[in-house]
Amino acid sequence: MNILIVDDDKTNLTILKAMLHKDGHLVRSAHNGLEAIDSVTENIPDLILMDLMMPEMDGYAATQIIKERFREHYIPIIFLTGVTDENMLARCVESGGDDFLSKPYSRVILNAKIQAHMRVKHLYETQMTQTQELSYHHERLKREQQIAERIFTRIVHTGCLAASNIKYLLSPVAVFNGDLLLAGYKPSGGMHIMLGDFTGHGLPAAIGAMPVADIFYGMTKKGFSIMDIVLEINDKLRAILPTGLFCSTCLAEVDATGNTISVFNAGLPDIILCDSQGKVRKKFGSNHLPLGVVSSHEIEKSLVICETEPGERLIIYSDGLIESTSSDGTMYGQDRLEQVINGCTDPVLIFETLCQSQRDFVSGGDQLDDITLLEVVLGSRVDASTDISPFKNRDPLHWQVCFDLYAEDLKAREPIQTIVQMVMDAQQLYDHRSRLHTLLMEMYSNAFEHGVLGLDSKLKKDPSGFAQYYMQRQEKLETLADGRISVRIEHRPNGLGGVLKIEMEDSGQGFDFQSYLNVDKTNKQFSGRGISLLKGLGRQVEFFRNGSGVRVEYVWED
């Protein structure tokens, strides 16, 4: 064992060297703290015997420097002392010492202390090695999951989800989403839509997604009916899924005129049809077992068909939405969802209002299941010629867009979907769509609600506060006569992909953003969490003009 003795007393050095040599240790010596630091820098010892009082630099200072400078190594330091003063002994511990050896020295005690610290050193080094191995495997697994998730996204999300009459939210619990959302055009006109909710979440729940997506898109493009698709998917899931794993499913068809829908609901919550005023007009309950449970000949070949009017909306969602819980364990629930829909004064904002309502409700609570929400606006002709392939190869380009939204624009519509689609059209970042939507939605919500409308999010401290907040929001929105939100998005290639620089500025008075900058994701309050979300999604977050403007950089790689 390599041991360093630090002592300016030649007699003590001689005695200790003799003891240690007899036990087979390699011994080096230093006469003060400075020499000790130089010796450790040259060759790190297994253990140090350190005297307290020495010229040039005492043992306290030398120990502090060694422990700080070589913190990645475990070097036990045993102080050599003849004092019994409690304050001095406490100072030894505070400076980083691990043990004491009192004078006169006993070979038996010295050897026992060395062996004890060597066992601790061995345990420390073993733990560090295991930690490094775990970190390596964790990073490798993380990279593999990211690659698999990108492949999964490209295979599954290749349809017409970018269509102008569709809005959707995908919020998975894990890297892989157990919810499956698909949409595709029929060759003769019309659209097929599917929402699938596999048992559980994460990778086990997502294993059936790729064959299901392949069947859905392949049969839709060939003109098969949704019932034909249902039976084919059921046969496939019965063949590949283990016992206990199945898929609650909704398939809907919007005809080419946009005036008729056909619905098959197998295990999902009630699908809602809203009239042109945004009120709940009809609900399509589940009347079939989830797919993958029974053989196809046991499935009743029946659809619910309904005539629709222009401006009506179809709302489809997974049970993760209505089963999401607040911090006190209260469930969001079907009744609350319908109340939010019926309480929305502008049907154009139903989707955004539902998303915001659910986010506010669960603020501070944990998400336990994948959440998917889809809105389809009905009544316009659905032509397959409008289909686009979102995954065309496109080299990163340098471009920018700038525009201002004024009071009438802000009252009339929620522009985030349009902005996201603008980015998709310009750079084809479809596998980043969900994250960009979340980022832009958070920036816009803060600019509009707190900047233009001047609402205080601290109102949302309890259920009555939520009601007061949205009552004020509606009142201020109805009377809004002045206000502006400016948006500037610039994209620059960076070699591996590109950087989106997003700037959003409102006409409000700003806010004390400094008091919110250190609020983290574990914040259990109902306000002040938006900044941590921006930090999590963007590389840089910068406020300007007293907080009425914010810049965020979003980095993507090809």
What's residue 386's pLDDT?
46
pLDDT digits (tens, 9 = 90+) for 443-476: 888 899 889 998 887 776 665 676 687 788 888 8
What's residue 388's pLDDT?
42
What's residue 314's pLDDT?
95
Whole-number average pLDDT of the chain: 83
Report, as an integer, the average pLDDT of 34-58: 91
Characterize the bridge pairing of strands 260-266 and 247-254.
Answer: antiparallel
Q: How many of the other CB atoms lie within 10 Å of CB of 406? A: 14
pLDDT digits (tens, 9 = 90+) for 224-267: 889 989 999 999 999 888 877 889 999 999 987 778 899 999 99
Closest by CA to 271, choosing from 352, 417, 372, 361, is 372
pLDDT digits (tens, 9 = 90+) for 175-198: 566 788 899 988 667 899 999 988
Q: Which region among 115-119, 146-150, 340-344, 353-357 has the lowest average model confidence (pLDDT)?
A: 146-150
Between 129 and 388, where is the model more confident?
129
Share of the chain above pLDDT 70, in %: 85
Between helix 107-156 and helix 10-22 the angle, nearest 10°, is: 70
Q: Which region among 261-270, 399-408, 411-420 has the lowest average model confidence (pLDDT)?
A: 411-420
What's residue 199's pLDDT?
82
Q: Is the pLDDT of residue 387 over 60?
A: no
CB of 154 closer than 8 Å to CB of 391:
yes
The amino acid occupying position 228 is D
What's residue 148's pLDDT?
64
pLDDT band (50, 70, 90) for residue 418: confident
Alpha helix (H) ranges present in 300-388?
Answer: 319-322, 334-343, 350-362
DSSP state of 331: B
The amino acid occupying position 305 is I
Q: Which region among 154-158, 345-349, 552-556 has the lowest average model confidence (pLDDT)?
A: 154-158
Q: How far apart are CA 156 and CA 15, in angstroms?
A: 76
Q: Is the pLDDT of residue 39 over 70?
A: yes
> Residue 80: which H helix or E strand, with range?
strand 77-81
Q: Is the pLDDT of residue 304 over 60?
A: yes
Instruction: Name the 3-class secondary structure at 38.
Output: helix
Q: Which residues contact 353 (CB under 8 A, 6 or more apart)?
A: 340, 341, 344
Q: How many of the other CB atoms lie within 10 Å of CB of 463? A: 12
Catalogue the E-assigned strands of 199-312: 247-254, 260-266, 271-274, 280-284, 304-307
CA diameter of the chain: 104
What's residue 49's pLDDT?
93
Q: How far apart are CA 207 and CA 287, in angstroms?
A: 25
Report, as an integer, the average pLDDT of 355-360: 90
pLDDT band (50, 70, 90) for residue 277: very high
Q: How far apart are CA 489 and CA 552, in angstroms?
A: 10
Instruction: Name the 3-class secondary structure at 58.
Output: coil
Closest by CA to 342, choosing from 427, 434, 396, 277, is 277
Between 197 and 364, where is the model more confident?
197
> Residue 180: which H helix or E strand, with range?
strand 179-185
pLDDT digits (tens, 9 = 90+) for 501-533: 999 999 988 887 777 666 554 544 445 567 777
pLDDT digits (tens, 9 = 90+) for 99-156: 888 878 888 888 898 899 889 888 888 888 888 888 888 888 777 666 666 666 666 6
Instruction: Name the 3-class secondary structure at 432.
Output: helix
Q: Which region among 37-41, 412-416, 537-541 has the lowest average model confidence (pLDDT)?
A: 412-416
What's residue 6's pLDDT?
92
Closest by CA to 342, choosing from 278, 257, 262, is 278
Q: Which domains, ranges and CATH numbers included, belong to the chain?
A: 2-127 (3.40.50.2300), 157-388 (3.60.40.10), 391-558 (3.30.565.10)
